[in-house]
Amino acid sequence: VLKLFKSLHRTRQEVFKNDTKALEAARQKINEEFRNNRDETSEEKINELLKIASDVEVILRTSVIQAVHTDSDKI
């Protein structure tokens, strides 16, 4: 669980590099989700939550695009 938690935070830092609002929002969401499920004891439920977290990491790495505003009419 801790390994996935750290991995999500590393992914967040790579994907949202130089975007302080997105970095903070992602940090808060990751921490909130792990905190909300901290007391879960069912192995089945834990495995399901880990699968969801792993899927989120893949989506972040493969589907999020960061655009850079270079000029008044160009991205």
Note the pLDDT tens digit of each residue in 16-39: 998 899 999 999 999 999 999 999
Burial 30-63 (b: 16+ CB within 10 A, else e): beebbeeeeeeeeeeeeeebeeebeebbeebeee
Q: Minimum mean pLDDT among 5-9, 18-22, 62-66: which range?
A: 62-66
Give the residue extent of every domain in the chain. 1-62
pLDDT exceeds cutoff 80 at 71:
no
| Helical segments of the chain, H only | 2-15, 20-36, 43-63
